Amino acid sequence: MDNTSKFLELQKTNKVWAIGSLHSSLESFYSIKKYILSNFEIGDKLIFLGNVIGFENKSKEIITEVLKLRFKLMAKYKLKNKDIVFLRGAQEEMLSKLLQLHIAPNPTEILNWVFSHGVDQTIISYGFNPDEFRKIALQGTIKINKLTTKLNYEIASNPGHKEFFSNLKHAAYTETKDVLFVNRGVDLSRPLSAQNDCFWWGYQNFSQINKPYLSFKRIVRGYQSNHHNDIENSKTSVLCTLFKQPLNNKKILAGIFSKNGDIIELFESK
């Protein structure tokens, strides 16, 4: 994998397959994976739009499965590392904050917040008890550091997992600069380089975007917090959201796009 930039430009692209938030929904991912393996073609690219993990205690398993898919596609179609992209979502960002808990000025507050948003299920998948973290959070920097080091070690002991988290991109776009892929949103008043964490936390009223952002006439994202998703009218809209609330529906939305941003197909897991 390549971590030289926060952004990735997809080059020499036939089609781009984009997968919305998985949130550790393993069974739903299997049907998406099967469809991709049956229909992927030479020149195609694949992008995961963040939030691969979280909310279910299958985070370790889902990362292993997406890496298996990556390996199969790279081997069969002789893909390069940059042809399959993983974006950082809120779930991956919150896990990163948890792993830095020992340097946080308010560890208990941060811990309670990330656990209330599904990160507790991620650490369960790696064999840790959330109550152990709650207890240690009150015992000072040294003990917190020992526990986060253990979690880091456990993540690294799973082949490819450390590299997965180390190489998450903030956004990706096609070489035509017509279509932008993000996790949740952008601040339309700022350039890409000044978005900070808008990519995964979103931006006020982004769902109502009705005009291109910079040269991007299509923005594809993998998560939204509101329950209204006008996926049926995406072909005539700037924004295409590959996620449908509520979280407990466990459905995964995905799409196939041309390098110019045209929607070729939208589909969901069975």
**Domain coordinates of the chain in residue numbers?**
7-88+168-194+218-268, 92-156
Report the C-alpha gap between 213 and 191 in whole angstroms: 9
Considering only the top CATH level, what class is 7-88+168-194+218-268? alpha beta
The answer to which of 34-38, 218-222, 233-237 has the lowest mean pLDDT is: 233-237
Please compute the mean of the pLDDT values over residues 44-51 and round it to a whole number.
98
The Cα 6–Cα 170 span in angstroms is 5
Do residues 89 and 184 lie in contact, with contact meaning Cβ atoms separated by under 8 Å? yes
β-pairing, 263-268 vs 253-258, is antiparallel
Q: How large a percentage of the chain has pLDDT more than 90? A: 87
Q: How many CB atoms lie within 10 A of CB 120?
A: 22
Q: Tell me the per-residue pLDDT of 1-39, one tens digit each, with 9 for 90 and over.
A: 444 589 999 999 999 999 999 999 999 999 999 999 999
Tell me the pLDDT band of 208, cut-offs 50, 70 and 90. confident
Asked whether the predicted pLDDT for residue 201 surpasses 90, the reply is: yes
> Who has greater pLDDT, 9 or 230?
9
Query: Which ranges constitute the DSSP H helices of the chain?
Result: 26-39, 59-77, 90-99, 107-116, 119-125, 130-136, 141-156, 161-166, 198-201
- Residue 132, beta-bridge partner list: none
Percent of the chain with pLDDT over 70: 97
